[in-house]
Amino acid sequence: MNLFNIVEELEKFDPELNDRLNPRRAAIKNITSFGTKVALAAVPFAMGTMLKRAYGAAAAPTVVEVLNYALTLEYLESSFYNMGAASAGLIPAAGASYINTVKDDENQHVAFLKTAITASGGTPVAIPKFDFTAGGGTGNGPFKGLFSNYNLFLKVALAFEDTGVRAYKGQAPNLLGNKDILTAALSIHAVEARHASAIRQLLGVSPWITSTATVGNDTGVPQVNGNYAGEENVTQGGVNLTTLPSATGSTTSVAVATAAFDEPLSMDQVLALLVGTFIYS
Amino acid sequence: MKTSEQDSIGGANMARRSFLRYAGLGVASAGLLATAACHKDHKVIVGNSIDIGAKGDLAILNYAYALEQLEAAFYIQVIATPYSGMTGDEKALFTSIRDHEVVHREFFKKALGGNAIPALTVDFSTIDFTKKSAVLGAAKAFEDTGVKAYDGAGYLIQDAGYLTIAGKIVSVEARHAALISNMLVAGSFAADDQVDNNGLNKSATIAEVLPIANTYLKTKVNASNYGYVAS
């Protein structure tokens, strides 16, 4: 367990974001200076458990831990859309049915996962606190004003959806062979991808993630570069996709190779992207 | 005969072929169609059908390969013979989807190597490629079926690496599916024909998917060890 890792991840995240986070970052560093026990006490029990798992232990998470991790992500998404839908004047009529569909799905995911966790003998984690400006609780992060700026709202929505797809994908191996839970997780994963595609259509960017050879992020929002890191991968199962024939030639472009395969993120990668910015306790 | 023709992916010639007969992997010719299904002697080939083989990851990967062959062939035809009134934006989107499906197909072909099922012969005679509604309807069926197929077969995969690769592909299929649905009916990207009351995408078994796929295949794909043989 080391909150410093998170802070250092954030330092790499984006210079402008880091400037905005300075007060908060200093606070986190001060907390860590008191020692691990104090730092752990600063986060809810369940989140502390996940962070320990992510940063301290090599063992694969249990099914319940995977489900609680998923629940945390769904809390984030559902709270985000609930706030968006409740923000008068934010969502134009043309987008209302899209956003409502996504909102309803995310709330259903929360309910479903709670039931699945209980049925698996676990206890659903409590909902953490969110700062959708990515300000770590200051409400003053890089996405400040997102609930009165539809374009900004959609950009944050897209980062959440694409990250959610990556997060579920990253947990599939931890549910290997588990017919009920893996199938359910893959089924949520597919719905998150449907959402990501639709939000991309609302934003006017391609429905799939079209990376360059060096930059995974294709959204035009540099603050979320970390959420797309690795999407530029063109090698799958030892096969370099760019060497394969395409519909019109003997090789495949990087754009096609990256768009045709979405990449996973591990639990610790996702938590490093969210904790301290969007999730602050 | 085989590799040189199979390895080329001629799109230009394809447009001139009958819709009814061309190989998913390339330049259609009667010779190719006649021999492609029997030059790999280790596959289970009975008449004009193939079986994905013994239970295991190779069978599931070949199942995916079969579906990707079908999807790639479909979009190659969509672009080769655009429907009346296809806009530039629509053509660009269908071209991207075609390219994704082709690289999915080529990936499985390369990764499976000598374990791959042969090139399948498709039959799109029930699809009117000149009509937008028919093309979008068929595209939706292919994409939705593909998503349900991957979601439903995931638990059968025993290797974590293969499972992750299947996950990498299925989310792209879901992105396609959402786009196609929205092109048909704006806002239908996660409608209840595909997503249940828990917010879960529906999933389908091999025995449910292959009969649908086989309606577009001259080469019937069986999965005798997963409870399905074409009647």
Q: Mind telling me how many Å the CA of B8 is from chain A's nearest CA?
A: 7
With 0-12 / 13-18 / 19 or more C-beta atoms within 10 angstroms meaning exposed / middle / buried, residue A26 is exposed
- Contact between A260 and B99 using a beta-carbon 8 Å cutoff: yes
Using CA atoms, how far residue A146 sits from A13, A87, A97, A150, in Å, is 20, 10, 19, 7
- Contact between B198 and A112 using a beta-carbon 8 Å cutoff: yes
**pLDDT at residue A59, as a whole number:** 80
Place of tokens 């959440």: A160
Smallest Cα–Cα separation from A216: which of A251, A254, A252?
A254
- Mean per-residue pLDDT for A179-195? 98
- Contact between B190 and A263 using a beta-carbon 8 Å cutoff: no
B167, two tokens: 């996950």
C-alpha dihedral over B43, B25, B154, B38, to 10 degrees? Answer: -10
Q: Which amino acid is at B69?
A: Q
Smallest Cα–Cα separation from B61: which of B217, B227, B223?
B223
A166, two tokens: 């990556």
- Contact between B99 and A256 using a beta-carbon 8 Å cutoff: yes
Give the separation between CA B216 and CA B127, rounded to whole angstroms.
9
pLDDT above 90 covers a percentage of chain B that reads 79
Give the separation between CA A117 and CA A37, rounded to whole angstroms.
28
pTM above 0.90, yes or no: no
pLDDT higher at A15 or B208: B208
Contact A216, A228 (CB under 8 A): yes
Smallest Cα–Cα separation from A262: which of A242, A218, A232, A221?
A232
Residues B148-173 pLDDT 10s = 999 999 999 999 999 999 999 999 99
pLDDT band at B212 (very low <50, low <70, confident <90, very high): very high
Instruction: Answer yes or no: is pLDDT of B40 > 80.
Output: no
Give the separation between CA A98 and CA A250, rounded to whole angstroms.
39
Contact A128, A277 (CB under 8 A): no
Contact B73, B98 (CB under 8 A): no
Residues of A in contact with B7 (CB under 8 A): 245
CA count, 13 A, side-chain hemisphere, B159: 11
With 0-12 / 13-18 / 19 or more C-beta atoms within 10 angstroms meaning exposed / middle / buried, residue A174 is buried
Residues B50-94 pLDDT 10s = 999 999 999 999 999 999 999 999 999 999 999 999 999 999 999
Q: Where are the beta strands (DSSP E) in chain A?
A: 235-236, 239-240
What's the sign of the alpha-carbon dihedral B77, B81, B84, B86? positive
E strand or H helix at B214, and its extent?
A: helix B206-214
pLDDT band at A176 (very low <50, low <70, confident <90, very high): very high
pLDDT higher at A176 or A20: A176
Nearest-CB residue to A237 (from B8, B161, B175)? B161
Instruction: Answer yes or no: is pLDDT of B118 > 90.
Output: yes
pLDDT band at B176 (very low <50, low <70, confident <90, very high): very high
- Contact between B107 and A244 using a beta-carbon 8 Å cutoff: yes
**pLDDT at residue B26, as a whole number:** 31
Place of tokens 């025995």: B207
Residues A84-104 pLDDT 10s = 999 999 999 999 999 999 999
State the average pLDDT for chain A. Answer: 86
Q: Mind telling me how many Å the CA of A110 is from chain B's nearest CA?
A: 9
Residues B103-114 pLDDT 10s = 999 999 999 999
The secondary structure of residue B208, as a DSSP letter, is H
Weakest mean pLDDT among A25-29, A198-202, B207-211: A25-29
Count how many pairs of residues, chain A against chain B, have C-beta atoms within 8 Å.
Answer: 206
- Contact between B190 and A169 using a beta-carbon 8 Å cutoff: no
Place of tokens 């995974």: A216
Q: What is the ipTM of this complex?
A: 0.83
Smallest Cα–Cα separation from A46: which of A64, A26, A30, A21?
A64
- Mean per-residue pLDDT for A261-269? 97
Smallest Cα–Cα separation from A73: which of A24, A130, A123, A22?
A130
E strand or H helix at A270, and its extent?
A: helix A267-274
Angle at which helix A63-86 crosses helix A267-274, to 10 degrees, equals 30
- The three-state DSSP-derived secondary structure of B77-129 is HHHHCCCCCCCHHHHHHHHHHHHHHHHHHHHHHHHHHHHCCCCCEECCCCCCC
**pLDDT at residue B43, as a whole number:** 54
Give the separation between CA A35 and CA A37, rounded to whole angstroms.
6
State the average pLDDT for chain B. Answer: 85
Contact A68, A122 (CB under 8 A): yes
Smallest Cα–Cα separation from B100: which of B179, B218, B191?
B179
B-chain residue closest to A240, CA distance: B107
- Contact between B168 and A264 using a beta-carbon 8 Å cutoff: yes
Give the separation between CA B120 and CA B176, rounded to whole angstroms.
23
Give the separation between CA A53 and CA A48, rounded to whole angstroms.
8
Using CA atoms, how far residue B19 sits from A9, A108, B23, B130, in Å, is 54, 43, 11, 11
Residues of B in contact with A187 (CB under 8 A): 151, 200-203
Q: Mind telling me how many Å the CA of B156 is from chain A's nearest CA?
A: 6
Q: Which amino acid is at A269?
A: Q
